[in-house]
Amino acid sequence: MSTEKKTNNLISETSPYLLQHAHNPVNWHAWNDETLNLAKQENKLLLISIGYSSCHWCHVMEEESFENEEVANIMNQYFINVKVDREERPDIDQIYMNAVQLMAGQGGWPLNCIALPDGRPVWGGTYFKKEEWAKTLFQIGNLYISKPETVLEYAEKLTLGIQESSIVNVNTEEVEFTNSYLKDTVKKWSIYFDDELGGLNRAPKFPMPNNYHFLLRHAYQNNDKELIKYVNNTLTKIALGGIFDQINGGFSRYSVDTKWHIPHFEKMLYDNGQLVSLYADAYLITKNALYKETIINTMQFIERELLDISGGFYSAIDADSLDENNTLEEGAYYVWTKPELEKILTDDFELFSSYYNINTFGFWEHNKYHLIRNLTDDAFSKEHQIPKKQLKEKVRFWQNTLLKERKKKKYPRLDDKILTSWNGIMLKGYIDAYRVLNNHHYLEIALTNANFIEQHLIKEDATLYHNYKNGKSTINGYLEDYGTIIDAFIALYEVTFNEKWLTIANNLTAICFDYFYNQESKMFYFTSEKDTKLIARKTEIEDNVMPSSNSMMAKNLYKLGHFYSNAYYLKTSKQMLKNMIPMMGNYGSAYSNWLDLYSNFSQDYYEIAICGEEARERLLEINQKYIPNKLLCGSLTNSELPLLLDRFNKNKTLVYVCVNNTCQLPTEKTNEALKLIKT
């Protein structure tokens, strides 16, 4: 067997994940035309390994296999090895995740797939132990040399399956949008609810913000007391749980147990942005102090840990960090031993241990504890007969003390790439926090980020980049980038009434029709026509930890259709939703953002226009009420926007409430306008 050493080609990349592998003995390449041409020239199979910087099992497989010389020799002899950051290249990840799911029935990361030199997949899976990995690679490598026709035949069948799975059928039937459809969908969904601990009745547990955003809205608008109780119980358990960093704020990706205690310790920007938006609306409805504190603490974490000086937001913080033995260990940065805490907190330890459960409830493993609460501050102060004000002072002291102690530990690795889509999500989080809490600091951060996006992530031709790091962007934008930025810029317009943001959102939407729209399916492709073609052009429709790019676009078109009186936008949004109806009724969790759009079509949707010098004051008053079925527009002067045209009066501020192309008489009083709105 050849032991020829070649150069690892990742050292010139910017992705933190690729750079983590830049010194492996594996001859890694990045995904690009040069790499694919090399595979064809040498007639070697591609070995495509996909992960991300904060992925724990990606690190484990690297240590066991990719840093092993013998395994590297097998990989280098038989394959052109390609490392892919799934966050930078979600288009590639979609293709090979689909392949592995077709082969194995499930997928995950690390994702490893072997493909023909032209990219058609042959075999794949997720994490493999070193011996199994080496043995399998040796067998497939030799099979391709001795019987290439066998490998080719399998690749053709698998590729056909991938291409067929991307097909979305156009629903040509007439559809009546009814509230009963939503109720039936939620009823089927509810059999999986964990009414005691919140979330779904299984482990691991993901926060799934778009799920609970829809369920919160549905419960509120239908006065469904049981569902309201379930959603609030879920949000409370998450906020009190170990999945939320009780010392520094911010959410981890998911919990491995049923009580939201032990997280997969990585912190992702997209989770935190969506959860801030969710808790903002939940606070608006309930005025629950825990929700407000959760928002504030999360924002403090974001600004301490993930906000770049440029105004962009970083992507993630790793689950793993170096422990006291200088060994990478998941959660090492976050967990404590009881003797440590006793020494740090001295006389306060007894009360602290009750508050954060340094007991059997909060025990993790290896004499380590991860902080978790099981009582709100109101309940704890009553049970321990301590005034609430005094308790809050204690908690702040404990948090500051442990934060200082934690900083003495080795900090987890930071993924400092800036992704357009995730920045759009976090921008929306800041806008929602400002909308609900009226904290102008949040608006200032939002505007700084929006200006960063405009200056660095929008190209001269008005299309988007997907990434930014070290002053440069290298990847063309995907539909998820457009969907999130359009959504965020619409929201920014709704809290500032600066039409610049709405205009950019509308321009980006026009680009989506130019480069992403599929006339046959009436949906949008994930990749642009300007991108290098892969073996399939995917159409993303299922909502997951992030809403699907098509559901985001359908909602954006619905709103922009109202803002601009654009019948084509509204027609397209409606057709996209109709295409989903045969699927989403039986599996609400995977279509929750679509269900939110369905709610707009199944009830009155209000256009609220505010015109006059005091428009922003009226806006703040209206935003103190939860109204999910509305859009807001306004101006302090004359405006050409269809909903504002000829409505400005320099002598008074008027609020117009319109629904179904019919407007009520304008009023100067906010409370009178709110009486016209049925939520």
Helix (H) or strand (E) segment spanning residue 97: helix 90-104
Q: Of 73, 5, 76, 22, nearest to 45 (Cα)?
A: 76
Whether pLDDT at 502 is above 90? yes
Output the pLDDT for position 66.
95
Question: What mean pLDDT do residues 308-331 have?
Answer: 91
Tell me the average pLDDT across 484-496.
98
pLDDT in tens, 433-453: 999 999 999 999 999 999 999
State the pTM of this model.
0.94
> Mean pLDDT over all residues of the chain?
94
Chain-centroid distance of CA 357 in Å reads 30
What span, in angstroms and rounded, lies between the C-alpha atoms of 223 and 597? 19
Question: 178 near 201, Cβ under 8 Å?
Answer: no
Q: Is the pLDDT of residue 577 over 70?
A: yes
DSSP string, 5-16: ----GGGG---H
pLDDT of the residue at 3 = 40
Name the pLDDT band for 123 (thresholds 50, 70, 90).
Answer: confident
The residues, any chain, with a CB within 8 Å of residue 86's CB and separated by 6 or more, are 50, 51, 52, 92, 93, 109, 111
Per-residue pLDDT, 7: 66
pLDDT tier at 99 (50, 70, 90 boundaries)?
Answer: confident
Residue 2 — very low, low, confident or very high, per pLDDT cuts 50/70/90? very low
The mean pLDDT of 629-657, rounded to a whole number, is: 92
CATH of 179-320+415-601, picked from 1.10.357.10, 1.10.10.10, 1.10.3720.10, 1.50.10.10, is: 1.50.10.10
Name the 3-class secondary structure at 67. Answer: coil
Is a pLDDT exceeding 90 seen at residue 57?
Answer: no
d(C-alpha 191, C-alpha 203), whole Å: 16
* Segment 403-411 mean pLDDT: 94
- pLDDT band, very low/low/confident/very high, at 50 (cuts 50, 70, 90): very high
More confident residue, 246 or 163: 246
| % of the chain beyond a pLDDT of 70 | 99
350 vs 389: CA distance, rounded Å: 19
pLDDT at residue 216 greater than cutoff 70: yes
List where CATH 3.40.30.10 sits in the chain.
9-165
Say if residues 557 and 509 touch (Cβ distance below 8 Å).
yes
- What does DSSP assign to residue 657? E
Which burial class, exposed, middle or buried, applies to 351 when counting CB atoms under 10 A from its CB (0-12, 13-18, 19+)? middle
- 9-165, CATH topology level: Glutaredoxin (3.40.30)
- Name the strand (E) or helix (H) holding 380: helix 377-383
Stretch 645-671: mean pLDDT: 89
Taking only the tens place, the pLDDT of each residue in 166-193 is: 788 999 999 999 999 999 999 999 999 9
H-helix segments, 516-587 = 549-563, 567-584
Taking the C-alpha atoms of residue 168 and residue 355, their distance in angstroms, rounded to an integer, is 51
Give first-to-last CA distance, the chain, whole Å.
71
Residue 56: per-residue pLDDT: 84
pLDDT digits (tens, 9 = 90+) for 130-145: 999 999 999 999 999 9
**What's the average model confidence in pLDDT over 89-100?**
91
CA distance 401 to 298: 18
CA distance 317 to 414: 5
Return the residue matching tokens 């619409």.
Answer: 490
For the segment 305-321, the average pLDDT, to the nearest whole number, is 95
In three-state secondary structure terms, 448 is helix
Edge-to-edge strand order for the sheet containing 654-659? 630-635, 606-611, 654-659, 662-663
Q: Does position 91 have pLDDT exceeding 60, yes or no? A: yes
User: What is the residue-wise DSSP string for 540-557?
Assistant: -----SS--HHHHHHHHH
For residue 6, name the pLDDT band (cuts at 50, 70, 90).
low
Domain with CATH 1.50.10.10 in the chain: 179-320+415-601
Q: Which residues contact 448 (CB under 8 A, 6 or more apart)?
A: 311
What is d(CA 515, CA 412) in angstroms, rounded to the nearest whole number? 39
Query: Does residue 298 have a pLDDT over 50?
Result: yes
pLDDT at position 649, please? 85
Say which residues have a Cβ less than 8 Å from residue 413's Cβ, sequence separation at least 6: 16, 20, 53, 54, 317, 318, 320, 321
Residue-wise pLDDT for 342-395, tens only, equals 999 999 999 999 999 999 999 999 999 999 999 999 999 999 999 999 999 999
DSSP per residue over 277-340, as a string?
HHHHHHHHHH--HHHHHHHHHHHHHHHHHTB-TTS-B--EE-SEEE-TTS-EEETTTT-EEHHH
Measured CA distances, 605 to 211, 217, 523, 562, 642 (Å):
21, 14, 23, 10, 17
Which residues have a Cβ under 8 Å from the Cβ of 396 and sit 6 or more positions away? none
Beta bridge partners of 442: none
pLDDT digits (tens, 9 = 90+) for 230-251: 999 999 999 999 999 999 999 9
Confidence category of residue 324, pLDDT binned at 50, 70, 90: confident
